[in-house]
Structure 1
Amino acid sequence: MERVLSTGLRLPALPRVRVAPARATLARVSRFSGALVCAAALSAGTARAQSQKPPAPPQSAASGESAGDLRGWLVRIHDAAARSSYVGTMVNSTGTSVVSTRVGHYCEGKNTLERIDALDGEPRSMLRVNDEVRTLWPRYRVAVIEPVDPRASFPSLVSGSEKHIPDFYELHVQPMERIAGHDADRLLLKARDDSRFDHVIWADHATGLLLRVDVQVAGRTLESSGFSDVNIGVKPDAAAVYAELHRADGYHVVKPAILHTKLADEGWVMQSAMLPPGFQALDCVRRALDMPGETGVQAKVLQAIWSDGITHVSLFIEPFQPQRHRSEGLTVIGATHTLTRRVNDMWLTAVGDVPPAALDQFVRALERKQ
C-alpha cells in the first residue's frame, strides 16, 4: 500500500504507513488535512501587540446572543491562538479511535515556531517555522516540506474573516466549566441549517485560548478535540524546534510541487447557486501525484477548498484510474465525511466536516466547461 501524504502525494517506497493529516497545530489529527499556503489572519488579531493584555470575554446574555457578541468571542479566540506561547497535550477522539499529540507553540518576536510530536502510532514530528511545515518520519528518514495550511486549525478556529459566521451559526453562552486545569467559557455555536454541524467550544477564561471543541449533531458528539493539559504563557523555546530540524540533516526531502490556480482556469465551473449557503472559495491548487508502482508516471490532481469560516470542504479532482479508484461511496470517521464518485472520465473526492448531503451538493455543482 502506498503512503498517502497530507497533500495527497503517494510515496510507494515507504509501504504500510499512512501519514496523519497535517494542520498547523494538528489538534484534530484524524480530521485536518493538507498544507497549501499561509493561513489568512483576522485583521483584528494581527493588529494587536503580543505584550497587550488579552481582551476580556464579551459580556452578553445567557442565550441567543447578537452577531456582534459572536464576532467578539471569535476574535478573542483567534487572537489568543496567534499570540500565545503554550505547551500541552492534545487529544482527538472520533468515537472509534483516540490519538494524542504533544504540542509546543511559541511566539518569539515576529516568528511563529511550533513542534508537534505524535504520541500514538508511527513516530513522527511536525516542525513549523513561520509559513513552512516540515514533517519528519524518523523510521524512514524522510522529511516532507509543505506550506502552512490556509484552513485555521485548533486552537485558532476561524478561517479568514469572522464577518459572516453569525449568519450561519447562532451563539449560546453556557455555564463555565473547568477544562484541562483551566476555568473555561463554554459556547454553543448552533448551526442555523442542515448544511453544517453544531460546535461546542471551551475557551480559557483568562486568555481566550481555545481548549476544546466538540462537533455535534442533535446533541450527539461526533468528534472531540482539545487539550488534556496545557501550560499557557510559557517562555518561547526555539531550541526545541531547531534542534529537531538539525537532527533531520541527511533525511530524504520530499517537497510536493504545488501551483495555485482557479477551477475555471482548469476547465471547471462551480455552480455557486447549488452550493450550501455560506461556503466561500478559500484556495485552489494543482499538484502532481507520483503513481505507486509506476516509475516516472504522474497524475495531476486539483484540490479546491471552501469554508464557512468555521468548517471546511475540500474537493479533489483527478483522472479516473480503475486500479486505484475501485468503489464509489461514503466514508465516515468522526465528524469527517468523505464522498467518492466517478463522473465520466474523472474521479471526484469530497471531504469535509459536514453532513453527507452537503458534500453531495459540492459534487453535483461541479461541471466541465463546454
Structure 2
Amino acid sequence: MLIRWPVTLLAAVPAYNEELEAHYNIERGPFTKALGRRTQVINVTPRDQFRYGYRLWLDDETAMPLKSQLCDRDGNVIEQILFAELNFRDRIPADSLKPSISGEGFRWIRQDVQPQLAAGQVGGWGVIRLPAGFRLTAWRIQLIAGSNVPVQHLVYSDGLASVSVFIEPSDPQAQPMRGLAKVGAAFAFSRALDGHQVTAVGEVPPVTLEAIASSVTKDEAKTAPTPATAVPPQQ
C-alpha cells in the first residue's frame, strides 16, 4: 500500500537561509526510528513569541519527512502529522502519474505575475506593523460563493509560518465575528474596520494574529490592479 504524499509534511520542511535563522534556531537532534526506518530529527525553535516551533523526522536515506510536530515555545505538541504506512517502490508505472481528473470542459485562467506593491498595500489595504520577519508573499481578490462580494486575501509569511488575512464588506444581516477563535490547530482573530470585517488566520500564536489584524489599515489613495483570478463565475 502506497500512502499519498501529504503536502502539509512537505510544507513543514524549512528551506534554510539567513533570514529564517534570524527568527528560528535550527539544530540537528538525535537519530531515531520511524516506521522501522532510521531518521534524523531536526528541531526548529522560535526565537520570539510570534511563531511556533517544529520537530521533523527525516528519512536518513531519502530525506523524506516521515513525521512532523508543531510545538509551542515550551515544546508541547500542538499538532502531529505522520505516515501510518510507507512503501518505497523501485519503479513507478507511467500510468500512475496520469491526472485522475479530466480537464475537459474546464476554463483555464492564468494569473499574471503580481506587481510589487509599495509598503505591502493591496487595493489600499495593508498591515502597517508586522511582527519581525513577516512580509507580504501573496494576494488575490476572490468572490464569496453565491454572490459577487469581493474578498481581499493577503498572505504574510516569515518563510515557514504563514498568516492569511481576509478583508470583506460587513454583512448587516449576519452576526459579526469578534476577537479570538480556535480552528483546529490554528487560531483566527477578527475585528471590524471601516465597514469591513478583518480576519487573520494561521497556525501561529494568538499574539501574532492579533498584532497583524490590529495593524490592518486602508489608504484610499492606494489601489492595486485587479488580478486575473477576480473573474465572476460564468452563469
When normalised by structure 1's length, the TM-score is 0.52
Equivalent residue number for residue 227 of structure 1: 83
Counterpart CA distance in 2 for 1:270 and 1:161 is 26
Task: Give the counterpart letter for 2:85 in structure 1.
Answer: D
| CA distance in structure 1 between the partners assigned to 2:204 and 2:170 by the alignment | 25
Q: Are residue 327 (structure 1) and residue 177 (structure 2) matched?
A: yes
Partner of 2:92: 236
Find the counterpart in structure 2 of residue 176 from structure 1: 31
1:287–1:300 Cα contact (<8 Å) kept: yes
1:243/1:298 Cα in 2 relative to 1: closer, same or farther (>3 Å)?
A: closer
Match of 2:9 in 1: 154
Task: Render the CA deviation track for 1:43-63: whole Å, top value 9, x for unaligned.
Answer: xxxxxxxxxxxxxxxxxxxxx
Task: Assess if the C-alpha contact under 8 Å between 1:161 and 1:309 holds in 2.
Answer: no
1:267 paired residue among 124, 147, 154:
124
Change (3 A) 1:228 1:344: same
Structure 2 CA distance for partners of 1:161 and 1:205, relative to 1, 3 Å: closer
Amino acid at match of 1:340: S
Taking only the aligned residue pairs, the percentage that are identical comes to 22
Aligned counterpart for 1:345 among listed residues 176, 195, 199: 195
Deviations 1:194-245 (A, max 9, x none): 0011111111111211111101111211100121222346533442353622
Could you tell me whether the CA contact under 8 Å between 1:88 and 1:229 is conserved in 2? yes
Select which of 114, 120, 135 maps to 1:280: 135
Contact 2:151 2:168 (8 Å CA) reproduced = yes
Q: CA offsets per residue over residues 49-90 of structure 1, 9 Å max, x none? A: xxxxxxxxxxxxxxxxxxxxxxxxxxxxxxxxxxxxxx843x
Deviation at 1:170, TM superposition (A): 1.0
Deviation at 1:359, TM superposition (A): 0.4
- Counterpart of 2:137 in structure 1: which amino acid? L
Query: Per-residue deviation at 1:187?
Result: 1.5
Tell me, yes or no, if structure 1 residue 188 matches structure 2 residue 62: no
How far residue 270 of structure 1 moved from its aligned partner, in angstroms, is: 2.2
Residue among 59, 73, 77 paired with 1:204: 59
The residue type paired with residue 207 of structure 2 is: A
The change in CA–CA distance for 1:243 and 1:350 in structure 2 (over 3 A counts) is closer
Unaligned runs of 5+ in 1: 1-86, 90-102, 105-115, 117-151, 292-296
Question: Counterpart amino acid of 2:52?
Answer: F
Unpaired stretches in structure 2, ≥5 consecutive residues: 221-235
Matched residue count: 215
Task: Give the TM-score normalised by the residue count of structure 2.
Answer: 0.78
Q: In the superposition, relative to structure 1, how do residues 318 and 192 fare at CA in structure 2: closer, same or farther (>3 Å)?
A: same
Q: Are the aligned partners of 2:139 and 2:152 in contact in 1 as well (CA < 8 Å)?
A: yes
Q: Name the CA distance, whole Å, in 2 between partners of 1:323 and 1:208.
A: 52
Q: Which amino acid aligns with 1:244?
A: S
CA distance, structure 2, for counterparts of residue 234 and residue 364 of structure 1: 52
CA contact (8 A) 2:12 2:68 kept: no
- Are 1:286 and 1:301, in contact at CA under 8 Å, matched by a contact in 2? yes
Moved more, 171-180 or 310-319: 171-180
1:318–1:348 contact (8 Å) kept in structure 2: yes
Residue identity matched to 2:144: L
Residue aligning to 2:219 = 369
1-side partners of 2:202 and 2:218: how far apart?
Answer: 22
The structure 1 segments of at least 4 consecutive aligned residues displaced by more than 4 Å after TM superposition are: 158-161, 253-263
